[in-house]
Amino acid sequence: MVERKLTGAHYGLRDWVMQRATAVIMLIYTVALLVVLFALPKEYPAWQAFFSQAWVKYLPK
């Protein structure tokens, strides 16, 4: 017979809060990327200059 360990009810709440926090971070990242996408000119040198900045290189890591 399989025995289940008893756990507290707060584990579900913690998982839910972490999921919501991750969703907020993803939303901020997506909005920032869309703003940059529409704000930068369409030329290659502008995009190259943007992606060569240090904060952009380490943003998704």
Q: How confident is the prediction along the chain (61 residues), in pLDDT tens digits per residue?
A: 667 666 666 677 888 899 999 999 999 989 988 998 898 888 999 889 988 988 888 876 6
Residue 33 is part of which domain span?
10-57
| 14: in domain | yes
Rounded distance between C-alpha atoms, residue 48 and residue 41, angstroms? 11
Task: Kindly state whether residue 36 falls inside one of the protein's structural domains.
Answer: yes
pLDDT of 7 = 65
- Residue 42 domain flag: yes
Per-residue pLDDT tens for 5-21?
666 666 778 888 999 99
Question: What's the pLDDT at 10?
Answer: 62
Closest CA to 49 of 32, 34, 36, 30: 36
Domain total in the chain: 1
Is position 40 within any domain? yes
Identify whether 4 is part of a domain.
no
> Has residue 38 been placed in a domain?
yes
Report yes or no on 51 lying in a domain: yes
Residue with tokens 């909005």: 31
